[in-house]
């Protein structure tokens, strides 16, 4: 049998990027883990991504049979998404040039996010190949939950997404909720959508004794620890969490002396990802307003090995997102045996079973969030119950399972494609 070759297009999310900074998070992890898992199975995967870091090599092996290929398009460095969009034609032609130069061919195109969907349209035409599309987030869903269009979810994005829904051979949704959104907002044909939940790596994210984790991180001075992990963006609901903390201290003044919130994510180095630093400044003002300077620390981005210690050190991990297509952070915390208080949105409500493996509260409701956090902090029996439930639940989500389902999908899509061509 011939080796299966996948052209994985991830213009915007490089699997090698520093995580937790602006515009790098779950999608980068997903592409990295999926490419590695497929590679282990003997499938050859090339991940094509924009060359963003000057020190990155042109081609980097990230596992057996899996490479990252950096495609130069426009100047190297961080750019907002719409600026990346402006250079997509250049990206596509350089990608085609590279593939031609190597004399390589592929069997399937797997595109991530709307920017890659645009590139995939050209590849499907040129290479006459079926495209599997995963959006990770949808522009129309974001528009529904943001009070203002801060992220510039442009009409262009929505048009590209609509076209991808019409033309892709298959779409991967991370949850039944995303499937519902695709149907409701994009009129997607459910028969072409495969619901495949994301995974977690148990060799990285597993329980560690809380006291050991706190000592390793030098965070043993706080009695009770609340953790937030993620990109520092409005959509992640950190301001809601800070308001919830303010209320918590108002309701239970004694907690002020022994509760800390650690915010992991965001770039704190000066000059590095400037817009995010501004957002942190805005959040610091909120911290000041609630007199929580000694309770809240912004620790910046952390690598995943260290992140596992943060999860283990925490009593509760708060995931207050306004929307979330899946929510890897919740799953990683659960795999470490840390109860999660999350919002009842998107994939979070399919991962967390309320009262069993975490608690769910309405998005944007800082009172409900404060109450749920207080329950977990103050009720040791509940905390232990949720911790056990979280670990058990997390075991269902592995990258290997994701790989199994994706391989099945590739087989189906290729068979249908061959049948279509034969007609
Ligand atoms: N992450 C990280 N370091 C950080 C912050 C985040 O490695 O400082 C990772 C985290 O482990 C998770 C991903 O970024 O795998 C965030 O994924 P999630 O699905 O929660 O959010 P997204 O970024 O997709 O909105």
**What distance in angstroms lies between residue 329's CA and the mean position of ligand 1's atoms?**
6
Residue nearest (by alpha carbon) to ligand 1 atom 1: 20
Q: State the pLDDT confidence band at 152, using cuts at 50, 70 and 90.
A: low
One domain for residues 170 and 187: yes
**What is residue 268's predicted lDDT score, i.e. its pLDDT?**
60
Count of domains for the chain: 2
**232 CA from centroid of ligand 1 (Å):** 11
Alpha helices in 321-379 (DSSP H): 328-335, 348-351, 366-378
Listed residue (201, 175, 231) closest to 33, CA to CA: 201
Same domain, 321 and 404: no
Domain encompassing residue 188: 5-199+398-422
Residue 412 CA to ligand 1 center (angstroms) comes to 31
Mutation pick for ligand 1 pocket among 12, 16, 19, 232 (CB with most ligand atoms within 8 Å): 19
CA of 67 to the centre of ligand 1 (A): 22
Q: Is the pLDDT of residue 151 over 90?
A: no
Report the distance separating Cα 182 and Cα 373, nearest Å: 32
Extract the tokens encoding 392: 């058990």
**Which of 12, 14, 20 maximizes ligand 1 atoms within 8 Å of its Cβ, making it the mutation to test the pocket?**
20
Alpha-carbon distance 262 to 297, whole Å? 5
CA of 270 to the centre of ligand 1 (A): 21
Q: Whose CA is nearest to atom 21 of ligand 1?
A: 26
User: Same domain for 98 and 166?
Assistant: yes
Tokens of 162: 């609509």
**From CA 359, how far away is CA 355, in angstroms rounded?**
5
Residue 143: which CATH number? 3.40.50.2000
pLDDT of amino acid 146 = 81
CA 99 to centroid of ligand 1, rounded, Å: 31
Q: Decide: helix, strand or coil at residue 299.
A: strand
Same domain, 189 and 97: yes
- What is the number of the ligand 1 atom nearest to the C-alpha of 321? 25
For residues 183 and 156, membership in a common domain is answered with yes
CA-closest residue to ligand 1 atom 24? 26
- Contact criterion met (CB below 8 Å) for 348 and 323: no
What's the distance, Cα to Cα, between the start and end of the chain in Å? 24
Tell me the per-residue pLDDT of 84-100, one tens digit each, with 9 for 90 and over.
999 999 999 999 999 99
Residues 110 and 149 in one domain: yes
> How many beta carbons lie within 10 A of that of residue 332, not counting itself?
25
Q: What is the pLDDT of residues 222-265, one digit of tens each?
A: 899 999 999 888 899 999 999 999 999 999 999 999 999 999 99
Q: How would residue 273 be classed by pLDDT, with cut points 50, 70 and 90?
A: low
Tokens of 325: 């297509």
Confidence of residue 421 (pLDDT cuts 50, 70, 90): confident
The distance from CA 231 to its chain's CA centroid, rounded to whole angstroms, is: 9
Q: Mean pLDDT across the stretch 388-410? A: 98
Looking at the fold, whether 11 and 133 belong to one and the same domain comes out as: yes
pLDDT for residue 2? 81
Q: Count of residues for the chain?
A: 423
Q: What is the DSSP letter of 104?
A: -
pLDDT at 272: 57
Mean pLDDT, all residues of the chain: 94
> Mind listing the pLDDT tens digit for each residue in 319-370?
999 999 999 999 999 999 999 999 999 999 999 999 999 999 999 999 999 9
Q: For 35-80, how does the pLDDT look when each residue is reduced to its tens digit (9 = 90+)?
A: 999 999 999 999 999 998 888 999 999 999 999 999 999 888 888 8
Same domain? For 193 and 290 the reply is: no
The answer to whether residues 389 and 404 belong to one domain is no
pLDDT in tens, 103-144: 999 999 999 999 999 999 999 999 999 999 999 999 999 999
**Residue-level pLDDT at 150:** 53
Q: Based on the fold, state whether residues 230 and 116 are members of the same structural domain.
A: no
Residue 210 binned pLDDT confidence (cut-offs 50, 70, 90): very high
Closest alpha carbon to 226 in 363, 306, 334, 339: 339
Q: Grade residue 266 by pLDDT with cuts at 50, 70 and 90.
A: confident
pLDDT for the residue numbered 269:
57
Look at residue 270 and tell me whether its pLDDT is greater than 80. no
Answer whether residue 305 shows pLDDT above 90.
Answer: yes
Taking 80 as the threshold, does the pLDDT of residue 276 lie above it?
A: no
Q: Which of these ranges, 77-81, 156-160, 192-196, 413-417, has the smallest mean pLDDT?
A: 77-81
Report CA(230)–ligand 1 centroid distance (Å). Answer: 5
Pocket of ligand 1 (CB under 6 A): 19-20, 25-27, 29, 229-231, 264-265, 301-302, 304, 307, 326-329, 332
Q: How far is the CA of 45 from the centre of ligand 1 (A)?
A: 23
If one residue of 26, 27, 233, 330 were mutated to test the ligand 1 pocket, choosing by the most ligand atoms within 8 A of its CB, it would be 26
236 belongs to a structural domain? yes
Which pTM value belongs to this model? 0.96
């Amino acid at each position: 049998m011939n080796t299966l070759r996948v052209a994985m297009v991830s213009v915007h999310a490089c699997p090698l990027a520093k995580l937790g900074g602006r515009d790098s998070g779950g999608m980068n992890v997903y592409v990295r883990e999926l490419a590695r898992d497929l590679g282990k199975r003997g499938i050859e995967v090339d991940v094509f991504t924009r060359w963003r870091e000057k020190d990155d090599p042109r081609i980097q092996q990230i596992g057996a049979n899996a490479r990252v290929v950096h495609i130069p398009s426009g100047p190297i460095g961080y750019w907002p998404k719409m600026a990346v969009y402006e250079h997509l034609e250049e990206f596509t032609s350089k990608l085609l040039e590279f593939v031609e130069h190597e004399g390589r061919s592929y069997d399937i195109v797997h595109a991530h996010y709307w920017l890659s969907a645009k590139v995939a349209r050209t590849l499907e035409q040129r290479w006459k190949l079926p495209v599997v599309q995963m959006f990770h987030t949808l522009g129309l869903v974001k528009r529904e939950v943001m009070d203002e269009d801060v992220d510039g979810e442009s009409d262009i994005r929505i048009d590209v997404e609509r076209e991808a829904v019409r033309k892709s051979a298959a779409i991967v949704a991370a949850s039944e909720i995303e499937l519902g959104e695709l149907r409701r907002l994009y009129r997607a044909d459910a028969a072409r959508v495969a619901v495949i939940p994301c995974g977690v790596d148990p060799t990285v994210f597993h329980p560690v004794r809380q006291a050991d984790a706190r000592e390793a991180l030098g965070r043993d001075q706080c009695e009770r620890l609340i953790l937030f992990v993620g990109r520092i963006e409005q959509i992640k609901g950190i301001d809601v969490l800070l308001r919830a903390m303010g209320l918590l201290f108002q309701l239970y003044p004694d907690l002020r002396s022994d509760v800390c919130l650690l915010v992991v994510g965001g770039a704190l180095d000066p000059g590095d990802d400037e817009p995010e630093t501004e957002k942190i400044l805005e959040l610091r003002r909120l911290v000041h307003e609630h007199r929580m300077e000694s309770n809240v620390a912004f620790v910046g981005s952390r690598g995943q090995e260290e992140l596992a210690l943060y999860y283990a050190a925490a009593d509760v991990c708060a995931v207050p997102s306004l929307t979330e297509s899946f929510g890897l952070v919740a799953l990683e915390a659960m795999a470490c045996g840390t109860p999660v208080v999350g919002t009842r949105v998107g994939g979070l409500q399919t991962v967390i079973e309320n009262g069993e493996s975490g608690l769910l509260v309405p998005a944007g409701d800082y009172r409900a969030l404060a109450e749920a956090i207080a329950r977990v902090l103050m009720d040791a029996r509940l905390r232990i119950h949720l911790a056990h439930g979280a670990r058990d639940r997390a075991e269902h989500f592995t990258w290997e399972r994701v790989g199994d389902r994706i391989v099945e999908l590739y087989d189906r899509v290729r068979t249908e494609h061959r049948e279509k061509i034969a007609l």
